[in-house]
């Protein structure tokens, strides 16, 4: 149980600390049952983690439909790989890595379609639905407008608290690249947000 709370270094630090003792105990049971192909137990795991997985997918894609698809794919992938989960890291961390892979996989496979659709989507000024308000809403919108690489690093490092090494590992890039993308993200966000009165 302790491993669930501490494994993975800073991984998932914004969430696991809020998980109650009972939830963790239940989670271990659900994992064991799901590994024996118990779909009901897996649904419990889904209910426990869906908001966090969907949040990550939404922040990374900036698109509700894609985030929904990525979330579903992530859980389907998790089900298929569950037998290989040994508890070396927290289940939530393991699930997060799968979610990032799902997002990156979809982006790679559908790059052309995404780009073409984006041309029209941009005319709508579509906003992703979060509970963020005020300056946080402005920040959400600004992050959504970041180039893909910078957005992914910013979301994983600045929003979800992963180290550059961890974020780089998830994204399949070098840690130095992650730092460079973060620098780029800061610069672009500064340009956008200062225009909107994001005060220093």
Partner 1 sequence: MNFDDKLDQAARQLATEITPERDLWPGIEQAIRTPQRRTPWFAQAAAVVLLVGASSGTTYLAVKGDSGPVVSVAPELIFEKAAFGGDYHLGPDFQDARNSLRAQLDTELGRLSPEAQQDIQSNLDVIHAAIIEINTALEEDADNVLLQQKLLRAYREELALLQRVGGLTRNVMMRNDI
* Chain residues that interact with partner 1, rule: CB under 8 A: 14-15, 39, 42-43, 46-47, 50-52, 54-56, 58-59, 63-69, 71-73, 75-76, 79-80, 106, 109-110, 113-114, 116-121, 123-124, 126, 128-132, 135-136, 139-140, 154, 158-161, 186, 189-190, 193-194, 198-200
Q: Is the Cβ of residue 61 or residue 89 nearer to partner 1 in the bound state?
A: 61
Q: How far is the CB of 172 from partner 1 (least distance, A)?
A: 18
Per-position DSSP letters for 12-53, written without gaps between them: THHHHTTS-HHHHHHHHHHHHHHHTT-HHHHHHHHHHHHHHH
Torsion of CA 55, 179, 138, 68, to 10 degrees: -20
**What is the b/e burial string over 24-63, where b = at least 16 CB atoms within 10 angstroms of the residue's CB?**
bebbeebbebbeeeeeebbebbbebbbebbbbbbbbbbbb
Q: How far is the CB of 171 from partner 1 (least distance, A)?
A: 17
Q: Is the Cβ of residue 30 or residue 75 nearer to partner 1 in the bound state?
A: 75
Q: How far is the CB of 22 from partner 1 (least distance, A)?
A: 18
């Amino acid at each position: 149980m302790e491993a669930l709370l501490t494994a993975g270094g800073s991984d998932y630090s914004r969430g696991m600390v809020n998980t109650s003792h009972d939830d963790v105990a239940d989670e271990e049971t659900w994992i064991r049952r799901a590994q024996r192909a118990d779909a009901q137990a897996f649904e419990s795991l889904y209910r426990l983690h869906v908001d966090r997985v969907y949040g990550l997918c939404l922040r990374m894609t900036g698109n509700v439909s894609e985030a929904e698809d990525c979330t579903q794919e992530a859980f389907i992938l998790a089900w298929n790989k569950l037998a290989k989960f040994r508890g070396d890291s927290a289940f939530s961390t393991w699930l997060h890595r799968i979610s990032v892979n799902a997002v990156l996989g979809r982006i790679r496979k559908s790059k052309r379609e995404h780009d073409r659709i984006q041309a029209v989507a941009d005319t709508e000024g579509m906003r992703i639905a979060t509970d963020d308000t005020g300056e946080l809403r402005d920040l959400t919108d600004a992050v959504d407008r970041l180039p893909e690489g910078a957005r992914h690093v910013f979301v994983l490092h600045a929003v979800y608290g992963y180290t550059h090494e961890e974020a780089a590992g998830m994204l399949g890039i070098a840690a130095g690249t992650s730092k460079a993308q973060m620098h780029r993200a800061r610069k672009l966000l500064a340009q956008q947000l200062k225009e909107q009165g994001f005060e220093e």
